[in-house]
Amino acid sequence: MAYYVDGFVIPVKKSKLAAYKKMARLGLKMWKKYGIVDYKECILDDPKMGHGIIFPKLARAKAGETVVFSFITYKSKAHRNQVNAKVMKDPAMANFDPTKGMPFDMKRMTMGGFKVMVSK
């Protein structure tokens, strides 16, 4: 199967990690409802692995922030588009305003859709 992945790198204030985790759990519930393959929200644990640009620098993390790396796996890009359309039309999203109440600065989030080249 040719999977498709949406990936995100997000600097988050450490003081807002509990709020982020709550939001992430709701995200998991919502995307799972519409048939995603996998959903992961990961908190930076080892930023100095020895090679390349470290995630805090890549994400332009400031003092008191950490980095969240997250991804959602779909069956295909078409499946991603279908799932995201359903999520946005779900009644639970009716009052969702991404400019208010987010536990991170949306302008600093990095994201993209990725074709899977190698998989087990």
Structural domains present in the chain: 4-115 (3.30.70.100)
Tell me the per-residue pLDDT of 87-106, one tens digit each, with 9 for 90 and over: 999 998 877 776 677 889 88
Task: Please give, one letter per residue, the 3-state secondary structure of 54-106.
Answer: CHHHHCCCCCCEEEEEEEEEECCHHHHHHHHHHHHHCHHHCCCCCCCCCCCCH
Would you say the C-alpha torsion 117, 67, 83, 78 has a positive or negative sign? Answer: negative
pTM for this model (two decimals): 0.90
Looking at residue 98, what is its pLDDT?
67
Determine the pLDDT at residue 49.
78
42-90 per-position pLDDT tens digit: 999 998 877 888 899 999 999 999 999 999 999 999 999 999 999 999 9
User: Kindly report the CA angle at 50 between 48 and 54, in degrees rounded to 5?
Assistant: 50
